[in-house]
Amino acid sequence: MDGSAQLKKLRAALLTWFDRSARDLPWRMVDAAGKRDPYRVWVSEILLQQTQVVRGRIYFEHFVEQFPSVEALAAAPLEDVLKAWEGCGYYARARNLHKAAARMAAEGMPMTYVGWLALPGVGPYTAAAISSLAYGEARAVNDGNVRRVLSRLHAEAQPTAVWVQQQADTLLDPQRPGDWNEALMDLGATVCLPKTPNCPACPLTEQCAAFQSGTPKLYPLPKPAAKVRAVEAVALLIGDAECAYLEQRGGTLLGGLYGLPLEEGSIQTALPRLLERLSAHSPQLLGTVSHSMTHRQITLHVYAAQASQERQQVAQRPLSRLDHKALGLLPPQGAAQVRLL
DNA sequence: AATGCGGGGAC
DNA sequence: GTCCCAGCATT
């Protein structure tokens, strides 16, 4: 059998499997004409960047209910968008989603890979996914699932991004590009799993070099672990867990979210700076929380203090998990006994 | 090519 | 603890 016949067989095997085993996901809904809503496809793809499907699904349902269209999203305040994103992480996704929605509300929605790629928050993966799934353009996606499946298919233990894209481009079924992309990702997410590949359930074993090797789980090699930096910081709680003085964070880390005023550093160095900055006094240690964020391990000392800053309703603001933990040191129920004001 | 950017699931 | 997740922007 020559290469062309091998390719046809591979495509047929995976698409047949997909027609039977495709996951039932809310962003896969189609209209009477069999088309998907590009808006919903876009939102789902942004939400699923570095986020597992089971988790993204929960946010998706709520998000499209609150913001049912590009126009609705563009018209909403960024703070509302961040509130809907609260706890999901990588908040630049929400900021870019809002920025791109404003652009699309003014200039219209792109209908091609190149057009989508020009929008903030849309990279090669997302542009390929949207253009293939919503418009039928022949663009191959390259995500973590595709990387792992193709690494095993060809027994390439250390696949580069360029190599994966080339392989994906070659394999892509030009007749059904959207289905092909989802089939490859579904296979990676449900069968060709990182630690425990379920090869007996896989339609591609006959052509899979890693399966033939007998040790498919050795592909691909694990990526070097990210270095974790230990960070110590101090936060001030002025008010109580329900109504407190909050600051909006700038920069890229948790940018746009609100949180307790915070200074990086030890208690000795950061606490005085914090008290000075806020004209606060009488600090009392409420407790210490630890929070891990992929590349840093944060130890946060939380102090209650007295100051005249204006308080805000905590529940109305988008907060990070770190700030939720800090505020959790002072349960609303116990506030009456513990509160100092 | 490397790094920063969240948070949680599965083991 | 480990590795990974429908990646992108920036350098």
Straight-line distance from CA A321 to C1' C1, in Å?
21
What pLDDT is recorded for position A225? Answer: 85
The two structure tokens encoding residue A27: 């962003």
What pLDDT is recorded for position A146? Answer: 98
What pLDDT is recorded for position A21? Answer: 96
What pLDDT is recorded for position A174? Answer: 97
Straight-line distance from CA A222 to C1' B5, in Å?
20
Straight-line distance from CA A341 to C1' C2, in Å?
45
- Judge if the beta carbon of A21 is closer than 7 A to nucleic acid strand C: no
- Judge if the beta carbon of A270 is closer than 7 A to nucleic acid strand B: no
Q: Is A271 exposed, middle or buried (0-12, 13-18, 19+ CB in 10 A)?
A: buried
What pLDDT is recorded for position A267? Answer: 97
What pLDDT is recorded for position A200? Answer: 97
**Domain range summary for chain A, segments of one domain joined by +:** 3-218, 229-338
Residues of A annotated as part of the active site:
45
Tell me, yes or no, if the two domains A3-218 and A229-338 fold the same way: no
- Judge if the beta carbon of A254 is closer than 7 A to nucleic acid strand B: yes
- Judge if the beta carbon of A293 is closer than 7 A to nucleic acid strand B: yes
Average pLDDT over all residues of chain A? 95
What pLDDT is recorded for position A338? Answer: 33
What pLDDT is recorded for position A227? Answer: 87
What pLDDT is recorded for position A336? Answer: 44
Q: Is the separation of the CB atoms in A36 and A27 below 8 Å?
A: yes
CATH of domain A3-218: 1.10.340.30
> Given this structure, which CATH class describes domain A229-338?
alpha beta
Straight-line distance from CA A325 to C1' C7, in Å?
27
**Omega within 30 of 0 (cis) for the link into A200:** no
- Judge if the beta carbon of A297 is closer than 7 A to nucleic acid strand B: no
Strand C contact nucleotides, protein CB < 7 Å: 2-9
Cα dihedral across residues A327, A331, A335, A339: positive or negative: negative
Amino acid at A116: W
What pLDDT is recorded for position A337? Answer: 38
The two structure tokens encoding residue A161: 């991004």
Which residue's C-alpha is at the least distance from the C1' of C10? A252
Q: How far apart are CA A305 and CA A277, in angstroms?
A: 13
The 10s digit of each residue's pLDDT in A305-334 is: 999 999 999 999 999 999 999 999 987 654
**Within a 10 A sphere around the Cβ of A69, how many other Cβ atoms?**
14
User: Which pTM value belongs to this model?
Assistant: 0.95
- Collect the ranges in chain A with pLDDT lower than 50: 334-341
Report residues 172-201 of A contacting strand B, contact meaning Cβ closer than 7 Å.
195-196
